[in-house]
Amino acid sequence: MKPKDVLGILYFAAVSAFLVFETNLFISLTKEYPYAMGFAKFAVLATFGECLKNRIATPNWLPSKLALRFLIWGVFGLWISAVFPFVDGGVKAITMSGLWLKTQPAFWMSAWINLLGGYGFFMMFTHYWADTILTRGFQWPWQVLGRPETTRWAKIVIVSLFLFWIPAHTFTFSLPPAWRVICAAYLSICLGLILSFAARRK
């Protein structure tokens, strides 16, 4: 194992250790500053996913335009911080109104966010579009949709929604609200790897 690989592991371990040893501080900050913490959680962990993705593909950890990737993931963290309670409250509201099933609420929250709440058709494509801009220069969304690679990307994303993301977010929504965004941030590491595989698959 190379020294830079050890540094990468230590970075990830340090973030995880903070959650374990400073749980009360983490929960307090999350409740008091939900958007700032949402930005930080995704910027720190999902950017690590970008670095891990780059390390798997190349000898180097740091991808190009790292600061922009950090900012983009932070913005996704802001979106997640708003959409999670939105979906939670929405599913509970239609359930209490008798318009939806009362059993397995975490599963239905996951299904709603992945199939109807924009996770698959907004967040994942927006990330794919942003990644394309960072690597190839600016392109309009419809130009990205017209690329042959996008068809392969879409197939893998659709499969991952049903086989990975709905089960994964079912677990996420089963957690207390203070832990949901950080769980999603850890899962964003998987998202980066899945989208990387989808974008580069030959």
How confident is the model over 153-173, as a mean pLDDT? Answer: 88
DSSP assignment, residue 114? Answer: I
Contact status, residue 171 vs residue 183, Cβ threshold 8 Å? yes
Report pLDDT for 152: 80
Report pLDDT for 123: 82
pTM of the model: 0.87
Distances (CA, A) of 135 to 40, 63, 66, 129: 24, 10, 12, 10
Contact status, residue 153 vs residue 195, Cβ threshold 8 Å? yes
Report pLDDT for 49: 87
How confident is the model over 142-158, as a mean pLDDT? Answer: 83
Over the chain, what is the mean pLDDT? 87
Burial class (CB within 10 angstroms; exposed 0-12, middle 13-18, buried 19+) of 174: middle
- Nearest-10 crossing angle of helices 148-160, 124-136: 140
